[in-house]
Amino acid sequence: MRVILSPRMTLDLTEYDCTACGACCRSFPIFASEADAVREPAIRNEARRLPEHLETEDKAYQLFPLPFQTRCPYLKEDELCRIYESRPSVCRRFEAGSAQCIEARRRQFGEAEQ
């Protein structure tokens, strides 16, 4: 199946590889767990700690969105992750080419057509 994301961007789901577009880092809320913060200490300094009554096993810190941010704070200008090796679990589970990926790209680059 081919998905047309914009006049310049087509996604072939049979042979999809991440293009490091950063759409996933701009389109959905990004949360980190306490275990993620242990693995990557910068999370404690740069993310918003959730109020205790909102915390879950998977959500202790909010990385994105935060006021005045248009992207995850760890997404560099070259669209690569500054903390890739120690990125939060939610980012590790995000699959390139998945329905969420296609939705992120649609949000960033325009309507997808099938």
How would residue 1 be classed by pLDDT, with cut points 50, 70 and 90? low
Residues across the chain: 114
CB-based contact 47:62 (threshold 8 Å): yes
How would residue 93 be classed by pLDDT, with cut points 50, 70 and 90? very high
Range 37-42 average pLDDT: 97
Distance CA 20, CA 80 (A): 6
Range 8-19 average pLDDT: 57
Average pLDDT of the chain is 86
Record the tokens describing residue 43, joined without a space: 């999370």
CB-based contact 88:40 (threshold 8 Å): yes
pTM over 0.85: no
